[in-house]
Structures are given as C-alpha cells and as structure tokens.
Amino acid sequence: MNNWILLQAGGMSGIMGQVFLFGSIILIMYFFMIRPQQKKQKETKLFLEAIKKGDSVVTIGGIHGKVYAVEGETLTLELDKGLKIVVEKSAISADFTKRATGTK
C-alpha cells in the first residue's frame, strides 16, 4: 500500500514538472517573439497615423518622396516637381523612412 502512494506522488511531480516546463516555454516565447512584434506593429500604426503633408517618406518598394496630400488611406507623393504618385498608407515603410531621414 505504501508503494502505491509513493508511485502516485512520483507521477504527479513528473506531470507538474512538464506543466512548469511548458509554461516556461510559452512565457519565453511571449517575451522574445510576440511582445516585440506587437510593440513594432503599434509603433508602425502610430507612425502611419502621424504622416502629414511635407514629410519625407520611403515606400516599401524603395521610392523616396515628399507627402503632397493625405486623403484617408491614400497618400499623394511628390517625387519631383510636377511628378506625383498615389500610394496606400500601408505601402510606406516606417523603418526605411526613419533611416533615410535620420530620426529614431
């Protein structure tokens, strides 16, 4: 009878160890993968909302230009005097724009 109780206790500690290990892995993934990605998405969203006329930007395709007009979810970029293109706000690269303009 005593052996049976010890076997059950040993089995429970093994299960608890696995649950602890699994929980630790999830916690590590959250802090090193999920949380930084959420932070980056939030920064990008704030950057896109703050774009205004006259800002220098870079598109995902590498096109440099100045914002000529903001109309809802589209931007008109002036590439050269008289040369304008219309792009979606989502086509603006926050990372490349910050790097090109020297801001962080």
Beta bridge partners of 71: 74
Task: Looking at the structure, tell me whether residues 62 and 33 fall in a common domain.
Answer: no
For 39, the token pair is: 């932070």
Q: Using alpha carbons, list the distances in angstroms from residue 29 to 23, 33, 34, 45, 102.
A: 10, 5, 7, 23, 32
Does 36 share its domain with 80? no
Q: Are residues 39 and 57 in the same domain?
A: no
Beta-carbon contacts of 69 under 8 Å, excluding residues fewer than 6 positions away, are 53, 75, 76
How many structural domains comprise the chain?
2
Burial of 91: CB neighbours in 10 Å, binned 0-12, 13-18, 19+: middle
Q: What is the arithmetic mean of pLDDT over 61-88?
A: 93
**Same-domain status, 66 and 94:** yes
Residues 18-73 have pLDDT tens digits of 999 999 999 999 999 999 999 999 999 999 999 999 999 999 999 999 999 999 99
Same domain, 39 and 84: no
Closest C-alpha among 94, 88, 91 to residue 72? 88
What contacts 68, CB < 8 A, 6 or more positions away? 53, 75, 76, 77, 78, 84
Provide the residue range defining the domain that includes 77.
53-104
Q: Say whether both 44 and 59 belong to one domain.
A: no
pTM for the complete prediction?
0.65
More confident: 7 or 17 = 17
